[in-house]
């Protein structure tokens, strides 16, 4: 998969720009896929009354109306992550699957630094990975 930077948000399903502690940064995106049936448009969430349905359970082709279940469609997507490693300052690009996996107790998309092997996690917004041996004081 070619991980060129996106030119427009219209061609993306997901985009995020994050800072990684202590000194890294990451930009992550996932492109929409072409409709497998008509190959004329990009699959996206359904539009109702001019607004995108946020919690949709399927992706729909705006040209032919072909619908695909959300989980099945997202398994095929590829996430591109352009990063500056917080450990070694190496800048690189990596890919991972779109569905989130659990990493250090938090849902995240993880890519490994090409230079030092450090795992770089793009977590759900406002979630911090748990430290080993840490105890929550709730």
pLDDT tens digits, one per residue of 113-125: 888 888 988 887 7
8-18 average pLDDT score: 90
Question: What is the C-alpha to C-alpha distance for residues 112 and 6, in angstroms, rounded to an integer?
Answer: 22
Report the mean per-residue pLDDT for the chain: 86
- Supply the range of the domain harboring residue 89: 1-8+18-31+78-129
**Residue 121 burial (CB < 10 Å; 0-12/13-18/19+)?**
buried
CA distances from 32 to 22, 50, 73, 108, 126 (A): 32, 19, 10, 20, 25
| Total structural domains within the chain | 2
Same domain as 85, residue 43 = no
Q: Answer yes or no: is 44 within a domain.
A: yes
**67 and 105 in one domain?**
no
The residue-averaged pLDDT of 16-44 equals 89
| Pair 12, 28: CB distance under 8 Å | no
Model pTM? 0.80
Kindly state whether residue 86 falls inside one of the protein's structural domains.
yes
Decide if 49 is inside a domain: yes
User: Do the domain assignments include residue 137?
Assistant: no
Residue 95 has pLDDT above 50, yes or no: yes
Other Cβ atoms within 10 Å of 103 Cβ, number: 16
């Amino acid at each position: 998969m070619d991980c060129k930077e996106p030119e427009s948000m219209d061609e993306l399903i997901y985009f995020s720009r994050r800072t990684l502690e202590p000194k890294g940064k990451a930009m992550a995106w996932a492109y929409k896929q072409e409709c497998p049936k008509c190959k004329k448009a990009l699959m996206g969430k359904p539009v109702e009354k001019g607004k995108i349905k946020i919690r949709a359970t399927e992706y729909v082709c705006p040209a032919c109306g072909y619908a695909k279940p959300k989980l099945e469609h997202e398994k095929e997507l590829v996430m591109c992550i352009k990063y500056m490693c917080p450990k070694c300052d190496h800048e690189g690009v990596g890919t991972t699957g779109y569905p989130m996996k659990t990493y250090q107790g938090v849902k995240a998309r993880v890519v490994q630094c090409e230079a030092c092997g450090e795992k770089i996690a793009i977590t759900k917004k406002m979630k911090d990975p748990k430290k080993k041996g840490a105890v929550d004081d709730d």
